[in-house]
Structure 1
Amino acid sequence: MSTNHPPSHSGLARRRLGVVHLVFFTVAASAPLTVLGGGVTTTFLVTSNTGVPVSFLVLAAILATFAVGYAAMSRYVSNAGAFYSYLANGLGRAAGVAGSFIALVAYNTINIGLYGLFGAVFGDFMNTKFGVDAPWYIWGLGALALVGLLGVLRVDLNATILAVLLIAEIIAVCIFDFFAFSNPAGGAVAFDGLNLGNLFSTGVGAVFALGIAAFAGFESAAIYSEEVRDPRRTVARATFVAIAFTGLFYAFSAWALSVLYGPANVQGVVAEQGPGAIFGALAQFGSATLADVATVLFITSIFAAQLSFHNGVARYLFALGRERVLPDFLGRTSVRSAAPVAGSLTQTTLALVVVILFVVANRDPVADLFTWMSGTSAVGLVLLMTLTSASVVGFFRRRPAEESAFQTLVAPVIATILLGALLAILVFNFNALLAPENPSYLRWVLPGLVGLAAVVGLIWGAMLRTTRPEVYEGIGRSATQVDTREDEYVPVGA
């Protein structure tokens, strides 16, 4: 890790993104059509819980509570490392390093897992429609190469591509919702899915364990905080919009699925048809062409999520390289596009290696690669949010602020408790995310990877404090804040 030669170009593009751009990044990471076609159908299948739709409202409420303190702190801390910088400024530098290692595991695993899902879904589509029969990894690696290319281009170009894909898939989901409520099972709309009592019955732990993955990416607005036009407002607004939209949209669409097939029958339907429960309805009530278009959008939905998570990983690596917590070459950005090119190429290389390992081991792209990786990511993200809520309390305890006590203390404490409980549910119900044929020990090994990352991060932070105090002192401090008196960027702690 050289400390003598700083990167020749190490700045991200300033003032390039607005609220709408960030909303597209965060919601695209959640992938609405993928959530409905994959996540919601799987949740109904695994849990047989009729309260699945209302679970999204409960989770959105928890995340909104988290976002109160998160948004308040975002007005003072602006760093591409997001959670890393929040923890460093709120709980201490070693905690920041631990958080960065957890984040790298969480964002890398969900991104890499999506290549398995993409390869399987796209391969099935090509085989069914065009008779092209190729292994899943051919399509998965093709997507990996395209994401890697886009990752080194201008960030606002990425946002434009995500916007087009996201709008199209939202329209497709809305069409399904319209058909569902126009053709309810038994001729009447059933409200069982919105009954909170139905949620807290059988399989509630698995419902939450699977449901939290649907929100993955909502917190990523802070990753782009150095590139937004108005750092004091943009991140907060985008985060609240993303939570409100995804919570309501997913709850409504899951309810639509329940209404279409009937609360008592939806589990059997998805057991037989899987995602076809969505696309079959579009073909039945619309047309075969509409179903095909929706299937294509399902594929692009997965791709949009891959691109969003790839950008997040690249920016985490950039922040860690800039502060020399990791090798400083990671802090390099492209002179032409201002994209974190070194971080992007590193993430692409890592994804390539892991996918190849799964191919060589002959593991299933969905039951193994996608499920293992996404489950691990969910644990990591909830742990990060729990620690971040605690860091908000620590950050504002040591400094005066114009925000209210509710924003800086009450809401963060409540969020820490709620997220801690959700984390426990995730870990102890991790087996709900695994296929029956998967080895039983994976229910502890996979979430254990997150704990291992945290421990290694703490140890590395302690080593930096002893062996490289100048690096340790700067951890999380290349973040910027907005000086409210002069409305300009100044270093945190200045």
Structure 2
Amino acid sequence: MSEKTSGLSTRHLSTGSLVFMIIAASAPLTVLAGGVPTSFAVSGRLGVPVTYVVLGILLMLFAIGYGAMSGHIQNAGAFYAYITEGLGGRQGIGAAVLALVAYNMMQIGLYGLFGFSLATVLTAWTGVSVPWWVAALLGWALVGVLGTHSVDLSAKVLGVLVSLEFLIVIVVGVLGLRTAPEGVSLEALRPGDFFTQGIGVLLAFGVAAFMGFESGAIYSEEAKDPRRTVSRATFIAVGVIAVFYAFSAWTLAMGVGPSAINEQSSELGPDLLFVWLASISPALSECANLLFITSLLAALIAFHNAAARYFFALGRSGVLPHKLAFSGSTGAPVAGSVTQSILALIVVVGFAAVGAGSSLGKMFPIVTLFTWLTNAAAFGLVFLLAVTSVAILVWFVRHPRGHGVITRWVAPALAAVGLGTVAALILVNFDLMIGSDQPSALVFVMPGIIIASGVFGLVWGEIILRRRPDAGLATKGIDAVPKRPADPDPSHTNAPQERTLS
């Protein structure tokens, strides 16, 4: 098959472009406006800034092995490839199906918040009531167009949007420190307010803010010098995200006041940031509100690209229909992008139909589409991170490749334990995460969808490998890439050749 139908654009993305793609998925302004107040409100603690530091350290541990392995294996289905190489073909296929479901749920769920936010702004500007689903479909159309074009275009758009996000968050930080009604203090940074009874809730809510950081490896086939670019971009992104989240959460607490931040967060929720800014500068509040919407758009683009590349990788390997491996003249995963867009359209239209006349009113897309799908997706992705850590550990046991014991053993092991614990905490606190104050079937249904997708993937993997033992990433279509200079350690001269998995 020609490259046009089965190949992504090659070696276009620089480290900077990858960093923007990764940070866009984490959506800094969305986290500041939505995630930070929610964490303050639900936990009732001041230790929210410390949460991001702790999670940043944990994810750095994951990135050590993840980045090192990315130098040897490049594939658009990152989790799929890593778990296949480390744990086996059927486990890889199980992980692939789970990842595909999780990325799609995260992307589609964001349309609920995006549609609500954009509709609110359009209604305020025009005086005409705009349904949330109409606003969501405007974003859907733009995301769909970008997804079928060169990844360079998405990278440029995301670069602009992420830069604007950083600018407004920095402005918020400066204003928070300048207007601090109770003075500037380190009260919200005390470890004692993190290592306390509410630590599980803080970790469960906090980790969702980092979702998307692992997406660097998804673009490894399209990155310049992937041996270094992916690892470097992942480390930079995690470090920047962790420091930025901790700084912005601390300065928001200072701006509102440590004694009032929990109560105000409970009362105002995501509106807290904009109400507080409006008391300082109404124009700045309007600007932040607009950039909040573009922040969501950036996240939609980033997760759309990730899901499209998973469809591409699974189509290319035969796990899903091979037609999904079609790519256009620009090297974009066209079939995967169109498939993801169709799924999003079906779900958004379905929720719009069900929500017509709902007692929840305008909050329907927030309470249902956004909250249900994104929190379930966060559980799935954290669980996959934990499993991937185990796969990395096992792979380096077999193929040391000259890496030290910290890279091969210590970091992956600690990451597996830490991320597994966070995944368990999300399950334990899932009722709080979806805002349920009473027993709800959703507590079991939404995580159940994620778990069921993984089980289905394992069964499907078993069926595929029984029918075609040569199928899957582990054995099919492996193309060699140039070797590194000879390993100076004689004990490693028989190590396997680096490769790109197709």
- Quick check: TM above 0.5? yes
RMSD across aligned positions (CA): 2.0
Q: Is the 8 A contact 1:78 1:481 kept in 2?
A: no
Q: Partner residue of 2:336?
A: 343
In structure 2, C-alpha distance between the alignment counterparts of 1:199 and 1:385, rounded to whole Å: 23
Residue among 80, 83, 97 paired with 1:84: 80
Pair 133,493 (structure 1): closer, same or farther in 2 beyond 3 Å = closer
TM-score with structure 1 setting the length: 0.94
Residue aligning to 1:195: 190
Q: Which runs of 5+ in 2 are unaligned?
A: 359-363, 488-496
| Equivalent position of 2:347 in the other structure | 354
Alignment map for 1:53-92 (pairs within 5 Å)? 53-92=49-88
Letter in 1 for 2:316: R
Return the match for 1:311 from 287, 305, 308.
305
Secondary structure of 1:469's partner? coil
Report the CA distance shift for 1:10/1:438 in structure 2 as closer, same or farther (over 3 A): farther
Cα offsets for 1:90-124 (capped at 9, x unmatched): 11011110110111111101100110000101111
Inter-partner Cα distance in structure 2 for 1:103 and 1:442: 20
Query: SS of the residue aligned with 2:258?
Result: coil
Structure 1 residue 261 corresponds to structure 2 residue 256: yes
* Paired residues of 1:22 and 1:221 also in contact (CA < 8 A): yes
Hey, what does 2:428 align to over in structure 1?
428
C-alpha distance after superposition, 1:121-168 (max 9, x if no partner): 111111223212121000001111110111001101100000001101
**SS of the residue 1:185 aligns to:** coil
Shift of 1:200: 2.3
CA contact (8 A) 2:49 2:249 kept: yes
The alignment's TM-score, normalised by the length of structure 2, stands at 0.93
Structure 1 residues 9, 248: closer, same or farther in 2, change over 3 A? same
Give the 3 Å change call, closer, same or farther, for CA 28–493 of structure 1 in structure 2: closer
Per the TM alignment, residue 276 of structure 1 is displaced from its structure 2 partner at its CA by: 3.0
Compared CA separation, residues 142 and 490, structure 1 to 2 (3 A): same
Residue 21, structure 1, aligned to residue 17, structure 2: yes
Are the counterparts in 2 of residues 430 and 443 from structure 1 also a CA contact under 8 Å? yes
Partner of 1:323: 317
Distance 1:333 1:473, change over 3 A: closer
Is the alpha carbon distance of 1:189 and 1:464 closer, same or farther for their aligned partners in structure 2, counting shifts above 3 Å? same
- Residue 58 of structure 2 aligns with an amino acid whose one-letter code is I
In terms of mean alpha carbon deviation, does 442-451 or 354-363 score higher?
A: 354-363
Once the two structures are TM-superposed, the CA of residue 459 in structure 1 deviates from its matched residue by: 0.6
Q: 1:326-364: per-residue Cα shift (whole Å, max 9, x none)? A: 0000111002x1100000000000111111121122161
Which residue of structure 2 aligns with residue 180 of structure 1?
A: 176
Q: Give 1:439 deviation, angstroms.
A: 6.2
Report if the CA contact (8 A) 1:333-1:339 is conserved: yes
Q: Do the aligned residues in 1 keep the contact of 2:119 with 2:131 (CA within 8 Å)?
A: yes
How far off is 1:289 after superposition?
1.9
2-side partners of 1:443 and 1:207: how far apart?
Answer: 18
Q: 1:275 aligns with which of 265, 270, 275?
A: 270
Moved more, 117-126 or 302-311: 117-126
CA drift of 1:201 comes to: 2.3
CA distance in 1, matches of 2:430, 2:157: 34
- Find 1:169's aligned residue among 149, 152, 165: 165
Contact kept in structure 1, 2:73 and 2:499, CA below 8 Å? no
Give the letter for the 1:238 counterpart: A
CA distance in 2 between partners of 1:436 and 1:479 (Å): 49
Give the Å deviation of 1:434.
1.1
Aligned runs of 1:386-405 on 2, under 5 Å? Answer: 386-405=386-405
Q: Is the 8 A contact 2:75 2:313 kept in 1?
A: yes
Amino acid at match of 2:467: T
* Structure 1 unaligned blocks of 5 or more: none
**Superposition pairs of residues 34-183 of structure 1, within 5 angstroms:** 34-183=30-179
Partner of 1:466: 466
Aligned to 1:213: 208
| Structure 2 residue identity aligned to 1:418 | G
Pairwise CA distance, 1:465: 1.3
**CA 1:437–1:49: 2 relative to 1, 3 Å:** closer
Distance 2:501 2:326 in 1: 24
Listed one character per residue, the Cα deviations across residues 23-54 of structure 1 (whole Å, up to 9, x for unaligned) are 00000111111000011111111221111111
Is contact 1:76-1:482 (8 Å) kept?
A: no
Q: Quote the offset at 1:281 in angstroms.
A: 3.0
User: 1: CA distance between counterparts of 2:473 and 2:122?
Assistant: 53
AA paired with 1:21?
S
Go from structure 1 to structure 2 and tell me whether the alpha carbon gap of 1:284 and 1:78 turns closer, same or farther (over 3 Å shift).
same
Alpha carbons 1:136, 1:365 under 8 Å: kept: yes
Conserved? CA contact 2:480–2:499, under 8 Å: yes
Q: Deviations over 1:400-457 (max 9, x none)?
A: 4121111011111111111111111111111111123786121122111111111111
Deviation by residue 1:60-106 (Cα, 9 ceiling, x = unmatched): 11101111111111110100000100000011011110110111111
Relative distance call for 1:493 and 1:21 in structure 2 (3 A) is: closer
How many angstroms apart in 2 are the aligned matches of 1:368 and 1:74? 36
Q: 1:249 to 1:464 in 2, by over 3 A?
A: same
How many residue pairs get aligned? The number is: 486
Mark the CA change 1:76 to 1:491 in structure 2 (over 3 Å): closer, same or farther: closer
2:479 & 2:18 partners in 1: Cα distance?
19
8 Å contact from structure 2 (residues 317, 473) kept in 1: no
Q: Between the two proteins, what is the percent identity of the paired residues?
A: 43
